[in-house]
Structure 1
Amino acid sequence: MVCRALGISERTLRRWLHEPSAHLKPANGERLLRLIAISAHAEIVFDSGAAAERWFTVPAMGLDRQVPLDMIKESADYEQLAAFLVRLEYGVYQ
């Protein structure tokens, strides 16, 4: 899930985790922060980490059938995703 959200390979992620000198590019760091924030919010909305993780990987009708995880890469898409989660939280679907 992290690799897909950041747009990196699993090999790159392993290198970042195992090499102290490896650094995130600013864009990847920003995406990682978005993923952390939206994941925490999704866990609250869905009352479960597993349910939130499933939601991230399937096209959502309220997001024009986009996969939520793919919307973390771009700032405008992320804002739309965050707003959609707030609407779900409060029961406002339109």
Structure 2
Amino acid sequence: TFQRYEREQKKLNPQDSEKVLKIVALFQTGESVFGSADAFRRWMDKPAYGLGNQVPFDLLHTSGGIDLITDEVVRIEYGDLA
């Protein structure tokens, strides 16, 4: 998607820009919490109990989904897995 925008010299709309910024922040936090980008990506590919057994990657298409994943990563960081 980003390559298409770049190739066509299009600008992201405000909603997509917000999602991109949230995803970047999420991946930075995830890498810190899980110790590496690879470990975080592996977690993102598996059903997560704290997300109702949904696969985190499947939630990335909405701002609300990104927020849910971020909240779960923060809970993991602080050991709050309930």
Alignment TM-score, normalising by the size of structure 1:
0.73
Equivalent pairs, count: 82
- CA apart distance, 1:75: 3.5
- The question of 1:54 aligning with 2:42 is answered yes
Q: Which residue of 2 aligns with 1:81?
A: 69
- The question of 1:13 aligning with 2:6 is answered no
Alignment map for 1:57-68 (pairs within 5 Å): 57-68=45-56
Which of 10, 15, 22 does residue 10 from structure 2 map onto? 22
- The question of 1:31 aligning with 2:19 is answered yes
**1:34-63 CA distances to partner (integer Å, 9 max, x unpaired)?**
110100000011000111111122221121
Equivalent residue letter for 1:82: T
Identity of aligned residues (%): 35
- CA apart distance, 1:88: 0.5
- CA apart distance, 1:33: 0.8
Q: Which runs of 5+ in 1 are unaligned?
A: 1-11
Equivalent residue letter for 1:79: D
Q: Output the aligned Cα RMSD.
A: 1.7
4+ residue segments displaced more than 4 Å: none
- CA apart distance, 1:23: 0.9
CA distance in 2, matches of 1:76, 1:35: 11
Does the CA-based 8 Å contact 1:45-1:89 persist in structure 2? yes
Q: Which runs of 5+ in 2 are unaligned?
A: none
